Amino acid sequence: MITQDYEFKIVVKTDVAEGDPADWLFKAVNEGLFKEKCLTTFLTEVTPIDSSTPEYKWLADMEEQRYGAKE
């Protein structure tokens, strides 16, 4: 499988009763609740990124933590 990493910039409208999106966004995306939590979603930017650069080292660190070191 060939993969590509992307950076998305989105603007969303949410119910303030749901709390701060920073507190629930990652979980909502991973559990399929993103559409339920966001009343309106505006995608404003999609940019392919090179995750092997120092700027995105944190991505490799997260993948290693989640899946183990690459062989």
CA distance 29 to 55: 23
Place of tokens 């995608």: 43
Instruction: Note down pLDDT in tens along the chain; length 71 residues.
Output: 998 999 999 898 989 998 998 898 888 888 888 888 888 888 889 999 998 899 999 988 988 888 886 65
Q: Where are the domains of the chain?
A: 5-67
E strand or H helix that includes residue 67: helix 57-67
| pTM (two decimals) | 0.63
Per-residue pLDDT, 2: 92
